[in-house]
């Protein structure tokens, strides 16, 4: 009699465990995997290596998600470097031209997977102009950099440059787009309002890194106020960053630091429950004190080009 009771209890426990396993499997089957490119830097802005799933926090609309994997991001970037060549930049263009070659040389080195990033040089004094098309060749990019000169009597069309750049990303089907903008504080002449820039930037999945040179300007034209909103919100919402440099002499150091950050990002994979409504915002953080994490959701790829 006691043996029969033990057997019945064992069967009941086994049934409960089986039900629990199938329930967990069902929940796991309902989840989908999403990815985000993540930069983690210390208080000095240096990239932080050797992080794992327990070190990264991913939230969708402030709801924490399970981090499954953390690996080095080795997919090639498509990096558009936007350079202010308006008359306002006339005293800074020499420093800009000196700082850019080491930056593009660092970005176009093969990564550990043997892949190279593509870089383009685009000016925005008057209408945005491609000075060097996307290339992995630092020599070709140097020729474009050498063509950067301030245009007398011209104004900056930075917001137009962002919109035209993201349109170019779409035509190229860029899978890991990045915008690095070097902007000298001054009057903005683009007619686009900030919302006409932030929406296409968001839809492109491009990260915006804005390097602003000079004292911040406020209380000016509507166009300049729109630019200020874009350089405040754009980097934060896209997973990039904004740096305010009081002088262009600090540009070389900041570009070197930015190249290190871009080439040492993580590809973070996390689980999201099946839902008909996608999240409005994805944010990342870290469990380690003193570190700052920024994330850019990976652009959804076509089914035939998805990773295995």
Residues 127-147 pLDDT 10s = 899 999 999 999 999 999 999
Best CA proximity match to 179, nearest among 124, 220, 229: 124
Residue-wise pLDDT for 146-176, tens only, equals 999 999 888 999 999 999 999 999 999 999 9
Res. 270: pLDDT tops 50: yes
Integer Cα distance of 70 and 147 in angstroms: 41
Integer Cα distance of 77 and 180 in angstroms: 12
Q: 244 near 206, Cβ under 8 Å? A: no
The pLDDT value recorded for residue 302 is 53
Residue-wise pLDDT for 213-230, tens only, equals 998 876 678 999 999 999
**159 CB neighbour count, 10 Å cutoff:** 27
Integer Cα distance of 156 and 100 in angstroms: 19
Stated pTM of the model:
0.87
Q: 141 near 119, Cβ under 8 Å? A: yes
Per-residue confidence band for 208, with pLDDT thresholds at 50, 70 and 90: very high
Mean pLDDT of all residues in 253-264: 97
Spatial strand order in the sheet of 207-213: 129-135, 118-123, 78-83, 177-184, 207-213, 241-245
The pLDDT value recorded for residue 275 is 80
Report the percent of the chain where pLDDT is more than 70: 87
Res. 308: pLDDT tops 60: no
Mean pLDDT over each residue of the chain, to the nearest integer = 88
263 by DSSP, 3-state: which?
Answer: coil
Per-residue confidence band for 8, with pLDDT thresholds at 50, 70 and 90: very low
**140 CB neighbour count, 10 Å cutoff:** 16
The pLDDT value recorded for residue 216 is 84
Res. 183: pLDDT tops 90: yes
Burial of 7: CB neighbours in 10 Å, binned 0-12, 13-18, 19+: exposed
Res. 16: pLDDT tops 50: no
Res. 1: pLDDT tops 80: no
Residue-wise pLDDT for 73-111, tens only, equals 999 999 999 999 999 999 999 999 999 999 999 999 999
């Amino acid at each position: 009699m006691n043996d029969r009771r033990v057997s019945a209890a064992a069967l009941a426990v086994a049934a409960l465990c089986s039900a629990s396993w199938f329930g967990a499997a069902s929940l796991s089957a309902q989840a989908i995997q999403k990815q985000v490119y993540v930069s983690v830097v210390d208080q000095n802005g240096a990239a932080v290596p050797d992080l794992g799933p327990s070190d990264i926090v991913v939230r969708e609309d402030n709801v924490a998600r399970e981090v499954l994997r953390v690996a080095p991001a080795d997919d090639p970037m498509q990096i558009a470097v936007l350079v202010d060549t308006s008359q306002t930049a006339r005293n800074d263009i020499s420093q800009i031209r000196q700082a850019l070659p080491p930056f593009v040389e660092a970005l176009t080195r093969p990564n550990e997977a043997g892949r190279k990033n593509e870089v383009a040089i685009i000016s925005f004094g008057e209408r945005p102009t491609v000075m060097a098309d996307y290339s992995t060749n630092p020599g070709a990019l140097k020729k474009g950099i050498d063509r950067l000169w301030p245009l007398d009597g011209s104004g900056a069309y930075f917001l137009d440059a962002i919109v035209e750049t993201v349109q170019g990303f779409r035509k190229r089907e860029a899978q890991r787009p990045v915008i690095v903008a070097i902007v000298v504080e001054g009057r903005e002449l683009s007619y686009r309002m900030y919302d006409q820039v932030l929406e296409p930037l968001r839809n492109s999945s491009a990260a915006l890194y804005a390097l602003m040179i000079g004292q911040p300007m406020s209380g000016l034209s509507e166009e300049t106020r729109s630019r200020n909103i874009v350089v405040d919100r754009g980097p934060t919402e896209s997973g990039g960053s904004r740096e305010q440099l009081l002088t262009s002499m600090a540009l070389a150091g900041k570009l070197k630091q930015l190249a290190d950050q871009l080439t040492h990002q993580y590809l973070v994979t996390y689980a999201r429950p099946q839902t008909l409504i996608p999240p409005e915002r994805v944010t990342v953080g870290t469990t380690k004190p003193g570190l700052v994490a920024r994330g850019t959701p990976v652009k959804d790829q076509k089914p035939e080009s998805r990773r295995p």
